[in-house]
């Protein structure tokens, strides 16, 4: 009894208090901030598309819709597998859950690989910020490619952050921090992954399909 | 009196030793004190920079520094005051310390995230300081980082912006933490309309932090990308629009002024009932007006940009919305004054600061309405009038509320009482010096003195001189306040549990509060300011 009393009095000790709803609420609030971060970018896109509709239209034809479609399929599938991993851990199937999160990470890697080749392809064609070819284009096309690099770049950064988050989920599943009775951390990680997915769902048509 | 078996948070045993037991503590009270100490440091630095600025403006032409240094001084004064003191100020210090106690909780929802917020705050602050000494020299763009100068200048814009980005992240995490705490951690019986009004103001502030700060984040990121890669998003030669930068900047930075003032209004709502011994008048109106300010405040940003050449319709709408924001603010003022009416008023130090707040905030508010009116705005855009208005609401409002809060909660936080006579002298000097310092800015601004100018015409000198003398009085007042509080820490008298006769929950726990705040979790049965209950007991 005296020991628990002491434990309670230690400043800086973890307060033993479990609130799954609270954790998810906090996660949702954080996702709002991420959405608004991209909201600023969508706003910039909307303004410049409104000012240069014709040039955006032409520039968009330079992008390969097939590459974008493959990446969309990859990300959507990865959202499915991460959702399945939650169902798996709920049923107590730890190894299946780990495998599903790992598949999610592999799909994310495939997405990034695809993105890498896409960017490299653009660079080879002389399209990159301040490239001589780009500077000869009309302003709307310069802005289109500028926004393409900025927005898909920041999105790719979020894919990487999401992979780190999922990596921790694997570790927590492995070490038994996430169990069938306490899987809110996995849910929070999956929520973040869905955010990465949904932002792509908006980027994809804005850059690849509107032409 | 404190029961001997309960250890207060200042002396609690910890698994870490010495300073580590503070900088690694997840106790919301210790984190509040960490913020208080770091923020007082940054505040002092910024006050000193402001003092130098005023000294430079004592005479036309060069008085003490060169133009370049002058530009750096006003940029740093603004940056430090805004990003390191007044935006995080009240929520981070008093929100952290008091929020859980006020709603009867043991801590915030995410204590470790809370500590991370402080570490981010410290890292941002250190980065801002380090950027002063990097090659290129201190940033000289003004705290608004306006394009195109912020892309062209050779000063250390990227480190300074990264610092602001990190500080924004810290602010977001605090907002998330507070909102979750208010939703999830209230004690039994603490319904939404029994919460103290400071908690309501923190709730509204939290939402602005969450919804507005990311826009600043992406804006700063875009400018950094511009500087590094020259993508052209804000560069007219590549089709970009510099005015779009201003829109994005103010979409965050106007709501940010409500992040600064709302918690201050919350503090005023706490202090007035206690020293008037009356239940607050119009509780629900004050609570909802905080939410209304947060909402309308998000829709008025372009009133900072009436001269950029936007459409008449745009100007008209933003001007109208600006006037609408003044309604919830006025509701608060009327309710505070009505609370004091026929109250049993005790003119203690915290109330004195609050009275100064009400007068100064009203002056700042009215001049804000003048600025919101299109005809006057065009006339006084970018003059000292704007500087005067801004300092009346931010220093005279939020700043005074912060000093009121420290005088109100000091005995609770440290269990010591300061010298009240000295505190009143400090208050008198500060309040008097404040008017001398800032009121002349309205006059010279109206007569055409531009802001941020190094040199000026001789006819403005008398106003600059009065203002500079005011800055000396303000600094003297601040020194007395600081000296008084530090002396009280070392050898102040022991404070009672409830020195002011407050009825909110923080006054039911010992001073300083025990580690887990409450020995038994309280059950709340009445509203926050029920003085009828208090009088019956007496």
Q: Look up tokens 């470790």; give the residue.
A: B112
Structural domain range at position A161? 21-209
| Ordered DSSP codes for A164-188 | HHHHHHHHHHHHTSS-SS--HHHHH
Does residue A8 lie within any of the structural domains? no
- B79 part of contact set with chain A, CB < 8 Å: no
How distant is the Cα of A5 from the closest Cα of chain B, in angstroms?
A: 10
**Run of H or E residues at B84:** none
What is the model's pLDDT at position A56?
A: 95
Does residue A6 lie within any of the structural domains? no
- Vertex B337, ends B332 and B338: CA angle to 5°? 95
- Vertex B224, ends B218 and B228: CA angle to 5°? 140
Could you tell me if B404 and B357 are in contact, meaning their C-beta atoms sit under 8 angstroms apart?
yes
Q: Look up tokens 């829709």; give the residue.
A: B299
- The alpha-helical segments, DSSP class H, found in B131-156 are 149-152
Q: How many angstroms separate the CA atoms of B439 and A37, rounded?
A: 39
| Ordered DSSP codes for B403-468 | HHHHHHHHHHHHSEE--HHHHHHHHHHHHHHHHHHHHHHHHHHHTT-BTT-S---GGGHHHHHHHH
Q: Look up tokens 């004054």; give the residue.
A: B337
- Indicate the residue of A9, A23, A34 with minimum beta-carbon distance to B7: A9
Whether residues B13 and A6 touch (CB distance < 8 A) is answered with yes
- A22 part of contact set with chain B, CB < 8 Å: yes
With contacts defined as CB-CB under 8 Å, which chain A residues touch B175? 29
The stretch A76-102 carries a mean pLDDT of 97
Is pLDDT at A12 greater than 80 in this prediction? no
Instruction: List pLDDT tens digits, range A187-211.
Output: 999 999 999 999 999 999 999 998 8
- A66 part of contact set with chain B, CB < 8 Å: no
Does residue B168 lie within any of the structural domains? yes
Residue B437: closest CA among B64, B111, B102, B57: B57
Residue B24's closest chain A neighbor by CA? A12
Burial (CB < 10 A; 0-12, 13-18, 19+), residue B396, is buried
State phi, psi for B14 to the nearest 5 degrees. -140, 160
Residue B393: closest CA among B256, B248, B249, B216: B256
Q: Look up tokens 């980005």; give the residue.
A: B165
Does residue A150 lie within any of the structural domains? yes
Q: How many domains does chain A have?
A: 1
Is pLDDT at A162 greater than 90 in this prediction? yes
- A146 part of contact set with chain B, CB < 8 Å: yes
Ranges of chain B with pLDDT below 50: 1-4, 538
Structural domain range at position B403? 30-537
ipTM metric: 0.91
Does residue A3 lie within any of the structural domains? no
Could you tell me if B471 and B50 are in contact, meaning their C-beta atoms sit under 8 angstroms apart?
yes
Burial (CB < 10 A; 0-12, 13-18, 19+), residue B260, is buried
With contacts defined as CB-CB under 8 Å, which chain B residues touch A48? 239, 241
Whether residues A22 and B12 touch (CB distance < 8 A) is answered with no
Instruction: List pLDDT tens digits, range B145-183.
Output: 999 999 999 999 999 999 999 999 999 999 999 999 999
- Indicate the residue of B25, B218, B244 with minimum beta-carbon distance to A37: B218
**CATH (domain of A158):** 1.20.120.80
Whether residues A130 and B229 touch (CB distance < 8 A) is answered with yes
What is the model's pLDDT at position A13?
A: 38
Whether residues A12 and B239 touch (CB distance < 8 A) is answered with no
Whether residues B233 and A150 touch (CB distance < 8 A) is answered with yes
Left (φ > 0), alpha (ψ -120 to 50) or beta: where does B234 sit?
alpha
Residues in Cβ contact with A186 at an 8 Å cutoff, skipping those fewer than 6 apart: A85, A86, A89, A97, A101, A169, A172, A173, A178
Count of beta carbons in the 10 Å neighbourhood of residue B489: 13
Does residue A1 lie within any of the structural domains? no
- Indicate the residue of A34, A36, A44 with minimum beta-carbon distance to B244: A44
What is the model's pLDDT at position B15?
A: 82
- B174 part of contact set with chain A, CB < 8 Å: no
Residues in Cβ contact with A171 at an 8 Å cutoff, skipping those fewer than 6 apart: A177
What is the model's pLDDT at position A10?
A: 38
- B241 part of contact set with chain A, CB < 8 Å: yes
Q: Which of residues 437-476 of B touch A (CB under 8 A)?
A: none
Does residue B514 lie within any of the structural domains? yes
Instruction: List pLDDT tens digits, range B239-250.
Output: 999 999 999 999
Does residue B260 lie within any of the structural domains? yes
- Vertex B428, ends B47 and B198: CA angle to 5°? 70
Could you tell me if B468 and B56 are in contact, meaning their C-beta atoms sit under 8 angstroms apart?
no
What is the model's pLDDT at position B1?
A: 42
Is pLDDT at A9 greater than 50 in this prediction? no
**CATH (domain of B335):** 1.20.210.10
The encoded tokens of residue A182 equal 């306490």
- Whether residue B148 is preceded by a cis peptide bond, meaning omega within 30 degrees of 0, is yes
Residue B25's closest chain A neighbor by CA? A12
Could you tell me if B211 and B233 are in contact, meaning their C-beta atoms sit under 8 angstroms apart?
no
Q: Which of residues 213-232 of B touch A (CB under 8 A)?
A: 213-215, 217-219, 221-222, 225, 229-232
Whether residues A15 and B107 touch (CB distance < 8 A) is answered with yes
For chain A, how many residues are written? 211
Residue B173's closest chain A neighbor by CA? A30
Does residue A28 lie within any of the structural domains? yes
Residues in Cβ contact with B383 at an 8 Å cutoff, skipping those fewer than 6 apart: B444, B445, B446, B448, B449, B450, B451
Q: Look up tokens 């169990």; give the residue.
A: A179
What one-character DSSP code corresponds to residue B314? H
What is the model's pLDDT at position B532?
A: 77
- A74 part of contact set with chain B, CB < 8 Å: no
Whether residues A12 and B15 touch (CB distance < 8 A) is answered with yes
- B243 part of contact set with chain A, CB < 8 Å: no
- The alpha-helical segments, DSSP class H, found in chain A are 2-9, 20-51, 53-60, 65-90, 94-124, 132-136, 139-175, 184-204
Whether residues A147 and B233 touch (CB distance < 8 A) is answered with yes
What is the model's pLDDT at position B538?
A: 47
Q: How many angstroms separate the CA atoms of B402 and B360, rounded?
A: 14
Could you tell me if B40 and B450 are in contact, meaning their C-beta atoms sit under 8 angstroms apart?
no
- B515 part of contact set with chain A, CB < 8 Å: yes
Count of beta carbons in the 10 Å neighbourhood of residue B307: 11
With contacts defined as CB-CB under 8 Å, which chain A residues touch B21? 11-12
Q: How many domains does chain B have?
A: 1
What one-character DSSP code corresponds to residue B394? I
Mean pLDDT, all residues of chain A:
91
């Amino acid at each position: 009894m005296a020991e628990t009393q002491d434990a309670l009095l230690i400043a800086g000790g973890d307060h033993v208090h479990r609130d799954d709803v609270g954790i998810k609420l906090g996660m949702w609030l954080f996702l709002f901030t991420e959405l608004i971060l991209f909201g600023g970018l969508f706003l910039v896109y909307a303004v410049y598309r409104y000012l240069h509709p014709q040039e955006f239209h032409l520039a968009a034809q330079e992008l390969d819709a097939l590459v974008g479609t493959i990446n969309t399929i990859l990300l959507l599938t990865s959202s499915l597998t991460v959702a399945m991993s939650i169902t798996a851990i709920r049923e107590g199937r730890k190894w299946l859950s780990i495998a599903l999160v790992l598949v999610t990470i592999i799909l994310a890697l495939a997405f990034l690989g695809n993105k890498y080749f896409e960017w490299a392809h653009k660079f080879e064609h002389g399209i990159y910020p301040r490239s001589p070819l780009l500077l000869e284009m009309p302003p709307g096309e310069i802005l289109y490619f500028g926004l393409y690099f900025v927005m898909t770049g920041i999105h790719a950064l979020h894919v990487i952050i999401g992979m780190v988050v999922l990596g921790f989920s694997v570790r927590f599943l492995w070490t038994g921090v996430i169990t069938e009775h306490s899987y809110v951390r996995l849910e929070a990680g999956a929520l973040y992954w869905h955010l990465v997915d949904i932002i792509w769902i908006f980027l994809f048509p804005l850059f690849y399909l509107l032409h | 009196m404190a029961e001997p078996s309960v250890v207060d948070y200042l002396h609690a045993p910890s698994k870490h030793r010495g300073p580590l037991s503070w900088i690694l503590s997840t106790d919301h009270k210790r984190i509040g004190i960490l913020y208080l100490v770091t923020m007082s440091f940054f505040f002092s630095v910024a006050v000193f920079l402001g003092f130098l600025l005023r000294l430079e403006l004592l005479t036309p032409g060069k008085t003490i520094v060169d133009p370049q240094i002058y530009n750096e001084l006003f940029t740093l004064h603004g940056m430090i005051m805004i990003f390191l003191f007044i935006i995080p100020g009240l929520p981070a210090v008093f929100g952290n310390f008091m929020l859980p106690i006020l709603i009867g909780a043991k801590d915030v929802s995410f204590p470790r995230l809370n500590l991370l917020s402080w570490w981010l705050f410290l890292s941002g602050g250190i980065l801002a300081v380090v950027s002063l000494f990097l090659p290129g020299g201190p940033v000289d763009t003004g705290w608004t980082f306006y394009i195109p100068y912020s892309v062209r200048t050779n000063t250390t814009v990227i480190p300074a912006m990264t610092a602001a980005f990190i500080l924004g992240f810290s602010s977001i995490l605090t907002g998330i933490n507070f909102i979750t705490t208010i939703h999830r951690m209230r004690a039994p019986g603490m319904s939404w309309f029994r919460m103290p009004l400071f908690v309501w103001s923190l709730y509204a502030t939290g939402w602005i932090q969450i919804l507005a700060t990311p826009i600043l984040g992406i804006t700063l990121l875009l400018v950094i990308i511009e500087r590094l890669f020259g993508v052209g998003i804000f560069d007219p030669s590549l089709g970009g629009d510099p005015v779009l930068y201003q829109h994005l900047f103010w979409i965050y930075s106007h709501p940010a002024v409500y992040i600064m003032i709302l918690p201050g209004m919350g503090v005023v709502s706490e202090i007035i009932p206690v020293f008037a011994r009356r239940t607050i008048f119009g509780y629900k109106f004050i609570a909802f007006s905080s939410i209304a300010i947060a909402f309308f405040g998000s829709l008025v940003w372009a009133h900072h940009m009436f001269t950029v050449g936007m459409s008449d319709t745009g100007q008209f709408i933003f001007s109208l919305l600006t006037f609408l924001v003044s309604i919830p603010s006025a509701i608060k003022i009327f309710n505070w004054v009505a609370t004091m009416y026929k109250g049993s008023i005790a003119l203690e130090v915290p109330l004195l600061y609050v009275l100064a707040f009400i007068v100064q905030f009203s002056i700042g508010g009215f001049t804000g309405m003048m600025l919101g009116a299109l005809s006057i705005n065009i006339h006084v855009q970018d003059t000292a009038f704007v500087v005067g208005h801004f300092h009346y609401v931010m220093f005279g409002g939020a700043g005074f509320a912060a000093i009121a809060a420290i005088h109100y909660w000091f005995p609770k936080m440290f269990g010591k009482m300061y010298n009240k006579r000295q505190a009143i002298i400090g208050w008198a000097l500060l309040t008097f010096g404040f008017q001398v310092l800032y009121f002349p800015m309205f006059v010279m601004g109206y007569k055409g003195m531009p802001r941020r100018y190094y040199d000026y015409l001789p006819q403005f000198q008398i106003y600059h001189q009065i203002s500079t003398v005011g800055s000396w009085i303000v600094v003297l007042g601040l020194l007395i306040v600081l000296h008084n509080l530090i002396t009280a820490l070392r050898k102040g008298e022991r404070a009672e549990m409830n020195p002011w006769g407050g009825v909110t929950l923080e006054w039911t726990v010992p001073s300083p509060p025990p580690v887990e705040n409450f020995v038994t979790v309280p059950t709340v049965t009445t509203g926050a300011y029920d003085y009828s209950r208090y009088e019956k007991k007496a």
